[in-house]
Amino acid sequence: MGKAARFLAAGFDTAAIGVLAWSETGGRFAATFSEYVLWGSVLAAAICAIVILVETGAPLAWIGIGYVLFGGLLTQGSPHFGFVLLALALAPMVPRPRGSLSLGIAIAAVSAFVSRVAIAFAP
């Protein structure tokens, strides 16, 4: 799949995550912590699309995928299966760090875990 097709697909995923965030939050923006995280997932998906376009910053894209997974799996009202599925749909489109899929998956998993731990200790 070419870069333009991957970028358009990632843009569609970003829009779909936005629709899911709107649906899950009732259109409210950051009234609660979970709403903040779900809307942050839209930003993370948009960053993934930008990384696809510029073809650099692969670890940043995988951190974004991890954040979307965090939003889908580890927030109040979880699981949000739409977020999880769209994060998995982004994974094959973003560049792989050092050409390694396993490194990308590890970065995403660590990112989701660190997000959860950081949020647990946030004031």
- What pLDDT, on the 0 to 100 scale, is given for residue 60? 96
How many residues in the chain?
Answer: 123
Mean pLDDT of the chain: 90
Instruction: Please report which residue ranges of 29-100 form alpha helices under DSSP H.
Output: 33-54, 58-73, 81-90
Three-state DSSP class for residue 2: coil
Query: Quick one: pLDDT band at residue 123, thresholds 50, 70, 90?
Result: low
Chain segment 59-118, per-residue pLDDT in tens: 999 999 999 999 888 877 778 899 999 999 999 999 999 989 999 999 999 998 898 888
The Cα 103–Cα 97 span in angstroms is 7
d(CA 83, CA 71): 7
Amino acid residing at 74: L
What distance in Å separates the CA atoms of residue 64 and residue 66, rounded to the nearest whole number? 5
16-63 tens-digit pLDDT: 999 999 998 888 887 788 888 889 999 999 999 999 999 999 999 999
